[in-house]
């Protein structure tokens, strides 16, 4: 289908709370749903799916909760290789790997390498990810790559030094649990993304909700800063 969809998977804690469960139970359920959504997106022939798993701000949570989420991520990375092979799914990462626990960083690097040859959908795990942090790291990479020569920073230079410069900008960003916030997700890349807010909590999500979000997106008219009488997208927004 040629689409890049980003998802802010929100509401695990509230889902658990509403059932008198501990927050971590919500994350466990959230992981099950994430797996279902990856399968549904792959079946719908989505090209890129970016999942916001852990933000640079999520370290503020208790050590127990952070440890639990990291454990879930490691379990997921280790158990999904066959699923990825069967569905030709390539796993990638965005975020600051250098500030993740070394075991988690290694598991991510391993799965990215082991699935590199798969040519179906790409799942990008945003883990220790912050949109501002990614832009800062991109600028630093651009500056350190010049061997001391002065360069002009412009949009192309920044875009070329993002974590995954080959991946197209997201067409659609979905957020669950009824929050109308971007929360530092794909700040640079989402300049022209469409947004879809679902009132449902993430653990209540299903493939049908994803299909509904895509259907809603497909009815929209994207003008990229132009006007509807202009035929081609991508025109200047100046
Ligand atoms: C947001 O709910 C969810 C998270 C911060 C963690 C997301 C993690 C998973 C879904 C599991 C791992 C998934 C993969 C693909 C490895 P919240 O805790 O902010 O909920 P609340 O706003 O209701 O408190």
Q: Is the CB of 127 under 6 A from ligand 1?
A: no
**Annotated active-site positions, please?**
10, 58
Name the pairing type of β-strands 90-94 and 4-8: unpaired
Task: Report yes or no on 228 lying in a domain.
Answer: no
pTM reported for the whole predicted model: 0.93
Residue 120 in domain: yes
**CATH code of the domain containing 38:** 3.40.1180.10
Is 236 domain-assigned? no
Residue nearest to atom 15 of ligand 1 (CA): 34
In short, whether 11's Cβ falls inside 6 Å of ligand 1 is: yes
User: Does residue 170 lie in a domain region?
Assistant: yes
Q: Pseudo-torsion of CA 65, 66, 67, 70, nearest 10°?
A: 120
Is any ligand 1 atom within 6 A of the Cβ of residue 189?
no
pLDDT at residue 237 in the model = 46
Domain that holds residue 186: 4-218
Cα–ligand 1 centroid distance for 36 (angstroms): 15
Domain count for the chain: 1
What is the Å distance from ligand 1's center to 31 Cα?
8
Q: Is the pLDDT of residue 231 over 90?
A: no
Residue 173 domain-assigned (yes or no): yes
Across the chain, what does the average pLDDT equal? 94
pLDDT above 70 (res 129): yes
194-197/48-55 β-pairing = unpaired
Following DSSP, what letter does each residue of 86-150 receive, concatenated?
Answer: HHTPEEEEES-GGGS-HHHHHHHHHHHHHTTT--S-EEEEEEEE-HHHHHHHHHHHHHHTTTT--
Question: Is the shortest distance between the CB of 27 and ligand 1 below 6 Å?
Answer: yes
Enumerate the H helices of the chain as residue ranges.
Answer: 12-18, 23-43, 63-79, 81-87, 102-114, 131-144, 155-160, 207-218
Does a structural domain hold residue 33? yes
Spatial contact of 222 and 45, defined as CB atoms under 8 Å apart? no
User: Which pLDDT tens digit goes with each residue over 45-94?
Assistant: 999 999 999 999 999 999 999 999 999 999 999 999 999 999 999 999 99
Residue 48 lies in a domain: yes
Instruction: Determine, yes or no, domain membership for 152.
Output: yes
């Amino acid at each position: 289908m040629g689409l890049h969809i980003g998802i802010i998977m929100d509401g695990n804690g509230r889902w658990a709370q509403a059932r008198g469960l501990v927050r971590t139970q919500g994350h466990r359920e959230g992981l099950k749903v994430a797996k279902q959504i990856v399968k549904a997106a792959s079946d719908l022939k989505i090209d890129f799916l970016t999942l916001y798993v852990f933000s640079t701000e999520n370290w503020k949570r208790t050590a127990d909760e952070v440890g639990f989420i990291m454990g879930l991520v490691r379990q997921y990375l280790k158990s999904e290789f066959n699923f990825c092979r069967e569905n030709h799914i390539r796993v990638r990462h965005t975020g600051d790997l250098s500030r993740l626990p070394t075991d988690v960083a290694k598991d991510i690097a391993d799965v990215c390498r082991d699935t590199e040859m798969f040519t179906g959908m790409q799942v990008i795990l945003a883990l220790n990810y912050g949109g501002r942090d990614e832009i800062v790291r991109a600028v630093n990479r651009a500056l350190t790559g010049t061997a001391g020569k002065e360069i002009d920073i412009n949009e192309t230079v920044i875009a070329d030094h993002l974590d995954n410069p080959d991946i197209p900008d997201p067409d659609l960003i979905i957020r669950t649990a009824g929050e109308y916030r971007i929360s530092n997700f794909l700040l640079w890349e989402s300049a022209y993304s469409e947004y879809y807010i679902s009132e449902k909590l993430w653990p209540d999500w299903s493939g049908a909700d994803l299909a509904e979000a895509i259907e809603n997106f497909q009815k929209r008219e994207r003008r990229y800063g132009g006007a509807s009488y202009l035929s081609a997208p991508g025109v200047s927004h100046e």
